[in-house]
Structure formats: structure tokens, C-alpha cells
Amino acid sequence: MMLFKELVDVYERLKATPSRLEKTALIAGFISQVPADDLPVIVTFLTGRIFPEWDQRKTGIAGQSMIKIISSITHNSEALVVESYKHTGQLGLTAEEMFAKRKQQTFFEPEDVTVKELYETFAQIARASGAGSATKKQKILIGILNRATTPVEARYIVSLAIENVLSGAKEGVMEEAIARASAVPPELVRRAHMLTSDLGETARIARLQGAEGLAAITIQPMRPVRPMLAQNVASIREALDEMGGTAEFEVKYDGARLQIHKRGDEVRLYSRRLEDLTDALPEIVGYVRQSVTSDTAILDSECIAIDRATGRPIPFQNILTRLRRIYKVEEARAQFPLNLRPFDVLYHNGQSLLELPLRERRRVLETIVTPLNGECKPAEGLITADEAQAQEMFGASIRSGNEGLMGKDLNATYTPGVRGKKMVKIKSVLDTLDLAIVSAEWGHGRKAGWLTSFEVACLDEHSGDYLVLGRVASGFSDEELIAMTERLKPLITGEHGRIADVSPDVIVEVKFEEIQSSPIYNSGYALRFPRLVRVREDLSPEEVNTFARVMNIYNIQQRYVSKPGEQP
């Protein structure tokens, strides 16, 4: 029976090992000693999770609750615990610090905690629900924390309880370690991981059944898999070239990804991050029951909201409020009713379709999804080799308020969790903004006498204020800098140091990598790597992009950003 403190030792060694190769070797060596029965829990714990990714259980211990727990168990005042937390920034470290300053020692020699016991304790905490559950959860955790033999062990129990183990192994490292520990090909481990959403189970199968066992793993209803992801391409042409001349183009809906699992009347809906959203989206469940004719199926889809008055898609933020909703589902549903656009099928009547080419999966999809007016119908698609025809579809998609097009390789299999060029996205102008120049900086050296770097701002549509998003200094030729200086000089309203404030009459189109929240500018956000695309002489100052538009892009972008610990 493995003791938790042995695992603590591994966490500590991982923390001290910056090299990915050494981490992999360390974990491989360790897990090859672990008995097969303990393997799933230990592998999962090592990645910093308590339960596998497909599993919806959470301990549900809030930060405030953890502060109470640490205080009660170490006999330090809550104020002191909070003080410690302010400087450590991590509840685990605070637990360690408070344990070291424990006011009262226990009278008995505590019995070492085993990994299995800890897992069962967390499962018990996860089960506690309803009235008084917070207190119940606290009691259970206190029971096991009392048996921590060292402050460091207490730190890891606390960090794991809130799934915030910073020295845990990244998934990629763990996949390689599993492959090495069982001498199986890493691609098979990765595939098994993507299909099971369970690294612990993957490790167990690798150990007990080897490569053959891993290869035999397939998807099953009610067990979500990571969705296949798309790469960006710049144009329809590029998409066609990637796909060998012909592609399936589909409308890229601006909604939320939903993976739909159906077994008889039972329907479950999973987010891109495999969270179970079934209870939040009752109408979608209804549509699936009505529309999907197969007995068992796994579908990939986008769910969208349509404004009934205008027939146009409603911005993604409003859909988000639906996905996060646990209470008042019916009210939210009345406000933003959702529609469904299935675009792929992964499993049908007892069989995995992952290995079929898209062309055939799409055919199956059309036969099993019975369109229900606008509420549920397969994503609009067009198979073509004709760039002009696809371009027309792109224009139509944007005009009707969608994000652009997806381009898909008709011969491609469905590869869960892979972001590749078998499925690409062609978006409109998501990554540029039209912004006003509000100040500029005088250059020096060769560029003395020129304005060389420009603060750009969007317009707050409510107050009429300009909100700064960043400083653009690249993308200009010398000629452009000279022309820009001439253009801005008459607009200067004041100067301080090297900075000249200008009235916001010059609009530039700015490209950037990402929008980040940032305390530097008065907008609260900053563009990452902003650069000039062109000066927009054709736009008037009222056409500067609004802060609402910036927020819209920011929110869309949030969906593409990985969680900590997730593969990029």
C-alpha cells in the first residue's frame, strides 16, 4: 500500500527538476514500481488532479473554508492564516507555514496516510452535498489533515484537495512517462489518453495489456473525448491547398462547442473542456431526443443563439451565461433560447466512426439528424474545389453574422484532441482593430524629429472616452513615419517629456496576437504584439472600434486559451 508521503517525495523532486526529460525519467521510474491497482490514482494525483478528466466530481472546498480548516487544525487564528495567505498566495504553502507554527501538537503518533485513503477521503468530500455540506466537508478534511506527519505533507494534501498542485506533471510529460514505464509507443498512449480522457486508466491498460490493449481502446457513449481542434489559415485558397484542392466548407457558427452523447433516451452534453452541461441546456436535450434517430450516438456540434427579432446570431457572451447557469435555467432559456448545429458524428449504433473519412461521417450525420426547423439541423456545408464559390459562401456567412468558415479535409479521420490542418478556420477580421492614435512619442538618433511610437485607443461607446489598448511601434516604414509625423503635428494638444498628446483623428488598423487584461492602460486591457496594418483614411473618428467590440473579441479568444496544465 503506497503511502502519500512517498508521493510527496516525488512531487518535491519534480519541483527541483526543471528538465522535461529528467521529469519524464523520474516519473517513469517511479510509476513502474507502483502496483497496478494503485496506478490510476497515483498517475492522476501526479498530474495534480483528484479525479480523471471525464469525471465530473469536485471536492468543492472554497478558499474561505480552507482558511477555517487550516486555522482549526493548527490552532492559529484565522487572521494569522489570512495574513500568511496574503504573502504566500497559495493555500498549500500557507498550510505548510501554519503547520510549522502549530500551536498544539497531537498527543498520539499519527498513522501514515495512504494514497488510497486520501483518494477515498476526497471522494467522500465530493459526495457531501446539500445543507451543511460545507461543514461536513471541513470535518472530513480535518480528519485526514490531522494525520499529516510533516508540514510539507500537509501542504500537498491541501493543494491536492483544491487541485492546485503546482509541481504536478504536465499531461505531455505523463504520457511519455507512461509509455516509457510500460515500453509502449508514446503515440498509442496519447491516443488512448484522448479517447478515455483518463491518464490513470491509460497507465493501467498500458501496464496490464501493453500496446495491444491500448490500440483496442475505443470511444463509448457517456464518456466525453477531447474535441478535434482547428488551425487558423489566412484564406480560402490556403484551405483548399491544404486539403489537396477540394474541401468541405462549413459555416463557422459563433457559439459554443457541444459534444452530444445519446444512449436510448438518455442524453448528455459536454463542453469543449468535457464539463457536463446537460442540466443547463434542457432544450438542446429535447432537440436531440426528437431529431437524432440512432439509438446510440456521439455527435460533435456547435450550439448557437438566434435573435428572434432579427434572425441574426446573438453574441457569444450571452451563450456563456447559459452555459454557466445552474439556477433559474428556465428564465435564462426564455431569454436566450439555443439552437443546435451538429457537424460531425463520432459514434453510431454501437460503432466508433473515428476512423472513417469525414466524407462518410458526414453522410451518416445527414441520415441520423432529422432537421427541426431552425432549432436543430446539420451545419450548412458545401463541398467544392472552386475558390470563388467558397469565397461567396464566406461572404454570406459573415454577412449573416457568423464568424467565417471552417474548411475540412474530406478524407480525414476524426482525431480527438489534435489541432491540425485537417480542419481549419478562416475567420473575418477577428485579429485586427481600428483604433485612434491618442498620443505619440518623439524618436531619437536617426529618428529624431519624427514621431515613432503611437498609443492607440478604442472608444467607450457610453462615455465617449478613448480607452488606451497599447503602443504601436512596429509595422511602419520610414516614409510612413515621416508622413504620420506630418499628419499628427497639427493635432498635438499638449506635450510632456517626449510624449505628445494628439486629438484622436487618425485611425489605424492594428494587428495583434491577443488581448490581455492589464493594469497598464486605462482600458484595463492590452494588445499583445500590436503592429500597424495600415492607416485607415477611409474611416471617420466615429468608426473607431468600441470597447464592446474589444470585449467581444476578448471573450471569443478566451475559448481558445488553454487552462493551466492543459496542452497548448
Is residue 45 within 8 A of residue 115, CB to CB? The reply is yes
252, 261, 348, 377: residue in contact with ligand AMP (rule CB under 6 A): 252
Q: Give the torsion sign (CA, 437, 442, 446, 449).
A: positive
Amino acid at 550: V
Residue 529 makes contact with ligand AMP by CB under 6 A: no
Q: Hey, what's the cell of 176?
A: 511519455
Size of the site for ligand AMP (CB under 6 A): 13
Residue 322 makes contact with ligand AMP by CB under 6 A: no
Q: Hey, what's the cell of 489?
A: 503635428
Residue reference for cell 482600458: 523
Question: What is the distance between the alpha carbons of residues 237 and 139, in angstroms, rounded to a whole number?
Answer: 62
Closest contact distance (angstroms) between CB of 464 and ligand AMP is 34
250, 409, 434, 509: residue in contact with ligand AMP (rule CB under 6 A): 250
Closest contact distance (angstroms) between CB of 250 and ligand AMP is 4
CB proximity list for 510: less than 8 A, separation 6 or greater: 432, 433, 434, 435, 456, 470, 472, 527, 530, 531, 532, 533
Amino acid at 247: A
3-state secondary structure of 182: helix
Closest contact distance (angstroms) between CB of 402 and ligand AMP is 8
Residue 406 makes contact with ligand AMP by CB under 6 A: yes
Closest contact distance (angstroms) between CB of 343 and ligand AMP is 4
Residue 253 makes contact with ligand AMP by CB under 6 A: yes
Nearest to 116 by CA among 51, 41, 57: 41
Is residue 258 within 8 A of residue 301, CB to CB? The reply is yes
Closest contact distance (angstroms) between CB of 302 and ligand AMP is 4
Residue 302 makes contact with ligand AMP by CB under 6 A: yes
Question: For ligand AMP, which is the closer residue by CB, 250 or 509?
Answer: 250
Question: What is the distance between the alpha carbons of residues 568 and 561, in angstroms, rounded to a whole number?
Answer: 8
101 tagged catalytic: no
Residue 303 makes contact with ligand AMP by CB under 6 A: no
Residue 409 makes contact with ligand AMP by CB under 6 A: no
Question: For ligand AMP, which is the closer residue by CB, 40 or 227?
Answer: 227
Question: For ligand AMP, which is the closer residue by CB, 45 or 414?
Answer: 414
Closest contact distance (angstroms) between CB of 560 and ligand AMP is 5
Residue 23 makes contact with ligand AMP by CB under 6 A: no
Residue 249 makes contact with ligand AMP by CB under 6 A: no
142, 229, 320, 372: residue in contact with ligand AMP (rule CB under 6 A): 229
113, 379, 424, 438: residue in contact with ligand AMP (rule CB under 6 A): 379
Question: Which parts of 130-189 interact with ligand AMP (CB under 6 A)?
Answer: none
Question: What is the distance between the alpha carbons of residues 200 and 51, in angstroms, rounded to a whole number?
Answer: 9
- Catalytic residue chosen out of the listed positions 23, 137, 252, 377: 252
Residue 242 makes contact with ligand AMP by CB under 6 A: no
**DSSP designation for 429:** S
CB proximity list for 55: less than 8 A, separation 6 or greater: 198
Residue reference for cell 503506497: 2
Q: In whole angstroms, how large is the CA radius of gyration of the chain?
A: 28
Question: For ligand AMP, which is the closer residue by CB, 152 or 299?
Answer: 299
Question: What is the distance between the alpha carbons of residues 246 and 59, in angstroms, rounded to a whole number?
Answer: 49
Question: Which parts of 271-300 interact with ligand AMP (CB under 6 A)?
Answer: none
Please list the residues that pair with 426 across neighbouring strands. Answer: 405
First to last CA, the chain: 35
Closest contact distance (angstroms) between CB of 220 and ligand AMP is 22
- Residue numbers at the binding site for ligand AMP (CB under 6 A): 229-230, 250-253, 257, 302, 343, 379, 406, 425, 560
Which residues are catalytic, by number? 252
